[in-house]
Amino acid sequence: MPQQLQGRLRLPIISAPMFLGSGVDLVVGACRAGVVGTFPALNLRTTEDFDGWLTQIETALAQPGPDGREPAPYGVNFIVHSSNKRIEADLAQIVAHEVPLVITSLGAAKEVVDAVHSYGGLVFHDVTNARFARKAAEAGVDGLILVSAGAGGHAGGINPFALISEVRTVWDGPLILGGALSTGRDVLAAQAAGADLAYMGTRFLATEESLVSEGYRDMIVGSGAEQIVYTPSISTIPANFLRGSIVAAGLDPDNLPVPDKVDLGHVTNPHAEEEAPSSSPAPKAWKDVWSAGQSVAGITSVVPVAQLVDQLEAEYTQAKGELLAVIGG
């Protein structure tokens, strides 16, 4: 565990960044409950609005949490790719606000790492295979987030155990494991598998503070793992979506068209699609077709984020006791 996070978390959990899902209330609620809250910089349409969210979060987190507890640090997801037109302006805001944790995606650049290190911040980079892990290690990141099969959003296709084994051949630093984790027991299992932190997205989408609609949250609660469809069809890069939302958008989940090329604009300029004229017949990824991971299997209710973290802690403590009874120690 990086020193900047040691002793600052109630549970080793990052509430993962989610496009159109994580906003100020979820980030602040997660941090005040004692786990890292994060959001994607590109959830905002402009750098000015990004600056505004950072200020709101900082102001809220300057107050002590419940029971006088110091809130956990927060983080931002930053897309490092030449087609992200806001890269310089957003990085300037990250540095100006001294964002404690920066989660880079697509590219791991030494200049970004150096900029964040200049004020003592941390950079975690998300990867889906060992090749990208090696590149990120070379850029000097502080931790690698392994996005394994079954994750919400642009998931990888590799089983978490296999991914950990493979990445461990090129990286001996902090590991953060993501993909289909939903309970406190899963968090303990991630630690047992060698992770320092658990990365949970979908589970935090099913909270009252997330930005998604009630219908979306209800579909998460009502779906099982088999209702998650892994397809490149919706955003040209393979991602996991709720089957029910694909049907509601007028598409056949068992007969989806295969895109002929990858369009990274889905990641680096995500609002462009959202802003497409409403007369456009194509359903919009994320807005009309809803993303979620296989962790829906373990999600049975929508609760306030503070209650979710209480629940995760109770599950974690119980699982630890049961495990120790089995293996001794």
Ligand X SMILES: Cc1cc2nc3c(=O)[nH]c(=O)nc-3n(C[C@H](O)[C@H](O)[C@H](O)COP(=O)(O)O)c2cc1C
Q: Which residue is nearest to ligand X (CB)?
A: 201
Output 105 or 236, the one with its CB closest to ligand X.
Answer: 105
Output 17 or 37, the one with its CB closest to ligand X.
Answer: 17
For the chain, give the number of residues: 329
Q: How far is the CB of 126 from ligand X (least distance, A)?
A: 6
Calculate ∠ Cα 276-88-37, nearest 5°: 75
Where on the chain is the footprint of ligand X (CB under 6 A)?
16-19, 21, 40, 77, 105, 126, 147, 151-153, 178-181, 199-203, 205, 291-293, 295
Output 99 or 147, the one with its CB closest to ligand X.
Answer: 147
Q: How far is the CB of 53 from ligand X (least distance, A)?
A: 14
Output 136 or 180, the one with its CB closest to ligand X.
Answer: 180
Q: How far is the CB of 67 from ligand X (least distance, A)?
A: 27
Output 84 or 291, the one with its CB closest to ligand X.
Answer: 291
Q: How far is the CB of 323 from ligand X (least distance, A)?
A: 22
Q: How far is the CB of 186 from ligand X (least distance, A)?
A: 9
Q: How far is the CB of 309 from ligand X (least distance, A)?
A: 15
Q: How far is the CB of 267 from ligand X (least distance, A)?
A: 7
Output 200 or 312, the one with its CB closest to ligand X.
Answer: 200
Output 21 or 37, the one with its CB closest to ligand X.
Answer: 21
